[in-house]
Amino acid sequence: MDPYPNWPAALLFLLAGALLAAGRTALTVLPDSAVKRMAGSENPKERRIAKLLEKPTAFLDGLELARLICVAAGCILLWKGMNILLINKEFVPESLVFQWGIRIGLFLLLVLVLDVFCYLLPSRIGAKYAGGLSFTLAGLCGGFSFLLRPFVCLNHWAAEWIGRLFGVHPGEPAEDVTEEEIRLMVDMGNEKGAIEKSEKDMINNIFEFDNRTVSEVMTHRMDMTAIPLDAPLEEIIRIAIETGYSRIPVYEKDIDSIEGILYVKDLLCLIGKSDAGFSARNYMRKVLFVPENIPCVDLFGQFKQKKLQAAIAVDEYGGTAGIVSMEDLLESIVGNIQDEYDDEEEEIYQIQEGCYLIDGTVSIDEVESLFDIELESQEESAYDTIGGFLTDLLGGLPGPEEHPSITLDGVCFTVVLTAQRRIARIRVERLPSETEIPDKPDKKEKIGKDG
């Protein structure tokens, strides 16, 4: 006769605990979209699953409580049976130390085995075959959860009451997900291949859009194309063809006195007509003036509200700082938008590994990100562009034939071209070790003119 007839009951409890663990995981990993689809399905099994997950917290807590009860009951029965076997075995020494040593070892082994076969393994199986197991085990899980609902409510009440003692109040909203947490999740998704690098950059740019100002994305006044108020029609058409711009600012005396913006399409009505008596004032539109330090997100809202595509940025003295378009704002999020009229020359061109040819108008932040360095922490600068930053460090603008170099954080900056009273082109190279900086950049013949 079996000295311990409760082995089947113990195994039955443990099997129930394993099935509940698999069912709980299978129902948990179901996407919200799938649950919503099941709620409107004609299949009664799908509607049952959707109904179970209407209040997921109470339902899943009931499953977890049922699993713990089943595993605990099975563990107690197994432990009791092991003790009976140990007492009835004549080969077990009567030494108290030896007997307790065997009991402790068996207990640890039992905990390990139950954790693997009653939780870890069923949970992984439930996650892998969630679709099928959720239908198979929905009835079992729903029954256990229903039976234990009074105990779950009692547990929730006790947890809320005790939580008040520690300053945790029921219904208190959870902490909002922070920007840093979202960025971290995006980085992890990129590392695992779930998110492309372009998608990661776009998401990061969206977060930075709130903190970015117009001065960071606008076309500076030095690079603006504008026409005088008394410009003849022939000259305006020539400028529009050469630049490819469809909107051109119009000034009266100088670029600091912008009067409006001329839309080239508004001149199409003059095709085939005489340009006698033509005045740009009759065709230009009102211009939107904005401070250069206005956030990009605010200007974006103004563009949408007023149905505009361009604005003139002004500095603190009322002078023209530059021009900014809707395309500039979008490019700060999605990257460069190249159309058939844009110059093909890149602002950042890679010559070789760790060596770049960079336009002087590139922002300091872009260079810092490209080489993973901090430039402004070494010497404070009021400039936004890398060209202006180097001009400040050099103490002035280099001559046309001068190509000075500066090394910062192991990165060598060499002025390649100066034009229009500014540093136009820079060769930036990461140095492999402490070496002498060459007087002139390598491959000078390949750098050529700014264009």
Neighbours of 418 (CB within 10 A): 21
Question: What are the start-end ranges of the E strands in 147-198?
Answer: none
Nearest to 288 by CA among 342, 231, 341, 218: 218
Distance from C-alpha of 165 to C-alpha of 188, rounded to nearest angstrom? 37
Domain boundary among 301, 334, 367: 334
In a domain, 173, yes or no: no
Predicted local confidence at residue 292, as pLDDT: 92
What is the rounded (10 degree) CA torsion for 299, 303, 308, 310?
30
Task: Tell me how crowded residue 93 is: count the other CB atoms within 10 A of its CB.
Answer: 9
Q: Pick the more confident residue, 102 or 290.
A: 290
* Residue 172 resides in a domain: no
Report residue 36: phi and psi, to 5°: -65, -40
391 bridge partner residues: none
Cβ pair 289, 312 in contact under 8 A = yes
CA 173, 176, 181 angle in degrees (round to 5)?
150
Q: Does some domain include residue 342?
A: no
Query: 226: pLDDT confidence band, cut at 50, 70 and 90?
Result: very high
Give DSSP secondary structure letters for 322-385.
Answer: EEEEHHHHHHHHH-----TTS----SEEEEETTEEEEETTSBHHHHHHHHT--STTTS--S-SB
Whether residue 199 contacts residue 183, with contact meaning beta carbons closer than 8 Å, is answered with no
Q: What is the pLDDT of residues 261-296, one digit of tens each?
A: 999 999 988 887 877 788 889 999 999 999 999 999
Share of the chain above pLDDT 90, in %: 22
Average the pLDDT over each of 87-96, 208-217, 361-370, 386-395 and give the range with the smallest value: 87-96
Give the residue with greater pLDDT, 131 vs 240: 240
Mean pLDDT of 66-77: 90
CB atoms within 10 A of CB 204: 16
Q: Is pLDDT larger for residue 114 or for residue 86? A: 114
Tell me the whole-structure pTM to 2 decimals: 0.54
pLDDT bucket at 1, cuts 50 / 70 / 90? very low
Question: pLDDT tens across 103-144, in order?
Answer: 788 788 888 888 899 889 999 999 999 888 888 888 888 888
* pLDDT digits 0-9 by tens, 190-224: 888 888 888 888 888 888 888 889 988 898 888 88
pLDDT over 70 (residue 381) = no
10 Å Cβ neighbour count for 88? Answer: 10
Answer yes or no: is 17 within a domain.
Answer: yes
Q: 90: helix, coil or strand?
A: coil
Q: Are residues 356 and 383 in the same domain?
A: yes
Q: Are 256 and 114 contained in the same domain?
A: no
Q: Per-residue pLDDT for 445 more than 80?
A: no
Q: What is residue 99's predicted lDDT score, i.e. its pLDDT?
A: 67
Residue-level pLDDT at 186: 86
What per-residue confidence (pLDDT) applies to 376? 65
Please determine, for residue 438, whether its predicted confidence score (pLDDT) is greater than 70. Answer: no
Structure token pair of residue 112: 């390990």
Range 232-249 average pLDDT: 90
SS3 185: helix
Same domain, yes or no, for 23 and 155? yes
Non-local CB neighbours of 379 within 8 Å, separated by 6+ positions: 392, 393
Nearest CA to 444 among 400, 414, 409, 411? 414
Q: What is the domain-level CATH number for residue 238?
A: 3.10.580.10
Instruction: Identify the residue whose tokens are 């040593």.
Output: 101
The SS3 assignment for 400 reads coil
66-70, 268-272, 319-323, 334-338: least confident range: 334-338
**410 lies in some domain:** yes
Residues 385/391, Cβ–Cβ less than 8 Å = no
Cβ-contact 206, 332 below 8 angstroms: no
Please indicate, yes or no, whether residues 28 and 142 belong to a single structural domain of this protein.
Answer: yes
Q: 12-16, 282-286, 292-296, 348-352: which range is least confident on average? A: 348-352
Among candidates 272, 283, 273, 289, which has minimal Cα distance to 236? Answer: 283
The per-residue pLDDT of the chain, averaged, comes to 82
Q: What is the CATH number of the domain that holds 387?
A: 3.30.465.10
Q: Do 242 and 262 reside in the same domain of the chain?
A: yes
Task: Give the 3-state secondary structure of residue 103.
Answer: helix
Residue 17 clears pLDDT 60, i.e. is over it? yes
Helix runs in 166-295, H state only: 179-191, 197-209, 214-217, 233-243
pLDDT at site 378 = 45
CA distance 367 to 384: 11
Q: Looking at the structure, tell me whether residues 20 and 148 fall in a common domain.
A: yes
Measure the CA–CA gap between 60 and 53, rounded to whole angstroms. 8
pLDDT for res 20: 92
Give me 368's structure tokens. Answer: 């810092």
Which span out of 54-58, 90-94, 408-412 was modeled with the highest average pLDDT?
408-412
Together in a domain, 388 and 440 = yes
Domain that holds residue 190: 179-209
Whether 219 and 311 map to the same domain: the answer is: yes
Q: Could you report the per-residue pLDDT of 158-179, keeping only the tens digit for each?
A: 888 888 888 776 665 556 677 7
| 12 and 160 inside one domain | yes
Beta pairing class for 320-325 and 405-408: unpaired
246 and 103 together in one domain: no
Angle between helices 149-165 and 138-147 (to 10 degrees): 60
